[in-house]
Amino acid sequence: MESNSDFDNKSTIEQSTKEIIRTFAGKTAFKWDNYESSPNLEICNLGLTVKKCLSTDTADIARSTSGYTEGIHIFKVNWPKKKRGEVAIIGVSTDQVPVCRSQIVQIFDSNEVLLGWDIVNNQSFFNGNLIKNYPKDRNPNYAVPENFYMILDLDKGILAFRTDDEEFGFCYCELNSIFAEQGIKLYPVINLTSAGSEVTVVEIHNSSHDPSKRRIGMLLEMSVKWRMLNSMMIHKSSDKVNVILQIIQEFLELNFMVRDDLWMYKTYLKMMTKLDDTRALNLFQIFSLTQIRDSVGVQCFIAVSRLMYYYTWGNALFPIALVNQKCLDTIIDTFQIMPKLSIAQDVKSEILVNSIGLLHNLSKVTIIKDEIIRKRIHGILENYCDTIAYPPTVCLISVMTLGNVLYSDNRQAWIVPEKLLEILVELTIKAIKEGHAKFSTMYVFPREALETLLAILDCAENCHFLLKRNLIGILNDALIQLSNDNVCLELAQQCLNKLFTLIVMTHEGKDQQYRKIVKVNGLVDVLKKLDERDFNYLSMTSKICLYKIQKFTIGKIKGECILENLSRRFLKEYINIDNKSYLLNQYDKCYCPVCHSIRNEAEGVSHGIPPRYHSLPIGWFRFALKIPSQAKSERASETWHRAFHGTRVDRVYTILRQEELLLPGEMTADGHRIKELPGHYNNDNKPEGFNTKRIFVSPSLRYANYYSPGKQ
């Protein structure tokens, strides 16, 4: 008996779809939005299935009812192979993307934000432009299975896809910094182009923090206690000291309870600053410092300093509020009083660790770092690095703080005592292996350890010592064991690049003592694996490390530059500007991994007054522009800080003609009015007091690139 294959396939598809709906319907709030989807689409099966029944010349989008700014969201997708059509895209978008377009291939205008994967052609798109082939390691004819998963992790900023048996890798990264942290919601979307297309999507996991589950009762209780604490600190009631210490202890314990819940942590910080901008906290610290020769005064000072230390971790809100209330002056007074105090050494050590630890957290905020330098606090910290005069904990936290504070030019002559380098190496090894390393009363995390190493490696003498302590092997372990942490991977790669830069220099000087040291088992293989990552920056940095290894092992770089010719061709064909009027070709520079490695340069430099670090545009080609007369008179190339601004190709010529970037609301020479981008703050949607009439720039080219859609 022969079977009717079309009938069997149809029955199988319907059975699979019904099984998914039966399993998950009613268990998820996720649905496709009838009102925010193309009228050419039909939404059925309890809002989980999207169909395109009619043949049209449009690309039709279905958008979900739910948008997200946080959490991990996993969607199960059932997309039958015979119901995909010519283009079948699944991804996320802002709520500004039109749901019906007359174009099929380039379905999204460059002003809208949409990221997606075309499962028919195995390509990823950003704002309608082809970004890359995805999955990367599949041939173009790879057939995506009918059942697969979309993973939207907004805690880590990742959009990825997989099946039950295999992962496809990251499709997009850094969505948290571009969208989530700006409060811009991302909505799951589907694009259907052909009649007969049909897809079913259900959300099977949602880790977004439900406000009803966020310990609101505890939040209200602690809000009352914070007001009580502020009142008692202002009145400095001696009979209330025990109550003050008890409430401070509760807030110290609370810090660890809510730190992993970003919403709760930010809520507490806002609560603690909004009441009086930390004025009472600062006044009580000053009062406690005047009473520090008394045992009760010592207890109060340590408690309030520790509270400041803990709550300045990982944010800018609380540190800025404290510094606005002259917290840095209190820290300076503390350092001046310490030598005169007749108290136990362990108590002195605890006071210093809390004060310097607070300074360490404050120094991560750029404007505070400048203030620390202006007040010359870094000179005091250098004294606390004396391992003979001070305990190791005080010395170590001082080194970590100096790593944040010192400008790169100063770090080149910053020789760290070998004893502290040994301690830092041991703590780094443990932090990489276990996730953190405890040292006396402080904890060191992998990111902090790697950030400190990166700063220390600006000094050649520190590099030489750490090379002999197998730092390359330790960094290789970091690349392996911290493979899911892109920030730590970047830091480890940057450390390797600094070490390799030194080795290339010594190798070219006929000193080959480090050639054996670099032969760490598996390092080249690990770097090659990272080079294959979808995350562009990791890939670029891996290439540079590999090229530098080639340079000091075989004496030359095996690679050639293809970027310059492509860039010059692009400039001629797409931008079409007059070289003589706008460009200074003698200052053009290629930053492809090959050219950058041949020059043996660092990955970033400092410019401006005061010096500000910015990363070099690795992977890009620089066309040098003639400086406008106003910028020339202000010595812009010497005094201004470097920043990047993303724009569209068709706007470049207009910007050059204007000789400046315009604010929202202003008109260009060709009659175009500048508007805020979709999803950005505007007059109708902005925080209180926020001025939207600004030009947005960034020291990160990667960030600016998100607002500069490319051309193939």
Answer whether residue 606 is part of any domain.
Answer: no
Answer whether residue 469 is part of any domain.
Answer: no
Cis peptide before 610 (omega within 30 of 0): yes
What's the pLDDT tens digit per position in 128-143? 666 788 887 777 778 8
pTM metric for this prediction: 0.69
Instruction: State the sign of the Cα–Cα–Cα–Cα dihedral 453, 454, 456, 461.
Output: positive
Residue 31 exposed, middle or buried by CB count within 10 Å (0-12, 13-18, 19+)? middle
Residues 224 and 341 in one domain: yes
Question: Of 382, 405, 428, which residue constitutes the final position of a domain?
Answer: 405
Tokens matching residue 109: 């205008």
Q: Among 252-261, 280-289, 343-352, 553-562, whose mean pLDDT is lowest? A: 252-261
pLDDT band per the 50, 70, 90 thresholds, residue 127? low
Residues 198 and 218 in one domain: no
Minimal CA–CA distance to 479: which of 545, 432, 517? 432
**How far is the C-alpha of 462 from the C-alpha of 498, rounded, in Å?**
11
Examine the pLDDT at 332 and tell me if it is beyond 60: yes
Question: Of 186, 206, 226, which residue constitutes the final position of a domain?
Answer: 206
pLDDT exceeding 70 applies to what percent of the chain?
Answer: 86
Residues 138 and 245 in one domain: no
Q: What pLDDT shows up at residue 25?
A: 47
Amino acid at residue number 636: A
Residues 50 and 198 in one domain: yes
Residues 220 and 192 in one domain: no
Q: What pLDDT shows up at residue 317?
A: 87
Answer whether residue 492 is part of any domain.
Answer: no
Residues 269 and 347 in one domain: yes
The residue that leads in pLDDT, 616 or 219, is: 616
- Measured CA to CA in angstroms, residue 562 lies from 96, 142, 365 at distances of 37, 29, 39
Examine the pLDDT at 342 and tell me if it is beyond 60: yes
**Secondary structure, 3-state, 601-628:** CCCEEEECCCCEEEECCCCCEECCECCC
**How far is the C-alpha of 45 from the C-alpha of 25, rounded, in Å?**
9
Range of the domain at 51: 16-206
**How far is the C-alpha of 124 from the C-alpha of 134, rounded, in Å?**
6
> What is the mean predicted confidence (pLDDT) over 202-212?
68
pLDDT band per the 50, 70, 90 thresholds, residue 588? very high
Answer whether residue 40 is part of any domain.
Answer: yes
Q: What pLDDT shows up at residue 212?
A: 43
What's the pLDDT tens digit per position in 70-107? 888 889 999 999 999 888 999 998 887 777 765 443 43
Q: Which residues contact 373 (CB under 8 A, 6 or more apart)?
A: 405, 407, 610
What is the pairing mode between strands 49-52 and 197-206? antiparallel
Number of domains in the chain: 3
pLDDT band per the 50, 70, 90 thresholds, residue 241? confident
Q: What pLDDT shows up at residue 11?
A: 44
Q: What is the torsion angle, in degrees rounded to the nearest 10, for the CA atoms of residue 339, residue 340, residue 344 and residue 348?
A: -40
Residues 378 and 242 in one domain: yes
Beta bridge partners of 189: 63, 91
Residues 68 and 115 in one domain: yes
Greatest distance between any 2 Cα atoms in the chain:
101
Residues 673 and 689 in one domain: yes
Examine the pLDDT at 5 and tell me if it is beyond 80: no
Answer whether residue 112 is part of any domain.
Answer: yes
**CATH classification of the domain holding 109:** 2.60.120.920
The residue that leads in pLDDT, 305 or 655, is: 305
pLDDT band per the 50, 70, 90 thresholds, residue 109? very low
**How far is the C-alpha of 28 from the C-alpha of 24, rounded, in Å?**
7
> What is the mean predicted confidence (pLDDT) over 353-367?
93
H or E element in which residue 123 lies: strand 123-126
Q: What pLDDT shows up at residue 110?
A: 39
Examine the pLDDT at 111 and tell me if it is beyond 60: no
pLDDT band per the 50, 70, 90 thresholds, residue 185? confident
> What is the mean predicted confidence (pLDDT) over 327-342?
93
Answer whether residue 618 is part of any domain.
Answer: no
Minimal CA–CA distance to 410: which of 600, 597, 596, 613? 613
Tokens matching residue 350: 């605890």
Instruction: State the sign of the Cα–Cα–Cα–Cα dihedral 629, 630, 634, 635.
Output: negative
Examine the pLDDT at 465 and tell me if it is beyond 80: yes
> What is the mean predicted confidence (pLDDT) over 593-608?
84
Beta bridge partners of 479: none
608 contacts 639 by C-beta, under 8 angstroms: yes
Q: Among 171-185, 501-515, 549-563, 647-661, whose mean pLDDT is lowest? A: 501-515
**How far is the C-alpha of 235 from the C-alpha of 371, rounded, in Å?**
30
The residue that leads in pLDDT, 605 or 460, is: 460
Examine the pLDDT at 441 and tell me if it is beyond 70: yes
Q: What pLDDT shows up at residue 2?
A: 32
What's the DSSP call for residue 49? E
What's the DSSP call for residue 685? B
pLDDT exceeding 90 applies to what percent of the chain?
Answer: 33
**CATH classification of the domain holding 260:** 1.25.10
pLDDT band per the 50, 70, 90 thresholds, residue 679? low
Q: What pLDDT shows up at residue 92?
A: 93
What's the DSSP call for residue 117? E
Answer whether residue 155 is part of any domain.
Answer: yes
Question: Of 405, 439, 456, which residue constitutes the final position of a domain?
Answer: 405
Q: What pLDDT shows up at residue 106?
A: 41
**Across the chain, what does the average pLDDT equal?**
83
Examine the pLDDT at 4 and tell me if it is beyond 60: no
pLDDT band per the 50, 70, 90 thresholds, residue 456? very high
Residues 118 and 145 in one domain: yes
Angle formed by the axes of helices 327-337 and 317-324, nearest 10°: 70
Q: What pLDDT shows up at residue 78?
A: 93
Residues 648 and 691 in one domain: yes
**How far is the C-alpha of 536 from the C-alpha of 588, rounded, in Å?**
23
Answer whether residue 173 is part of any domain.
Answer: yes
Q: What pLDDT shows up at residue 21?
A: 46
Residues 235 and 143 in one domain: no
Q: What pLDDT shows up at residue 205?
A: 79
The label of the residue with tokens 């993973």 reads 151
What's the pLDDT tens digit per position in 381-421? 999 999 999 999 999 999 999 999 998 888 989 999 999 99
H or E element in which residue 227 lies: helix 216-235
Examine the pLDDT at 552 and tell me if it is beyond 70: yes
**How far is the C-alpha of 531 from the C-alpha of 538, rounded, in Å?**
7
Q: What pLDDT shows up at residue 508?
A: 56
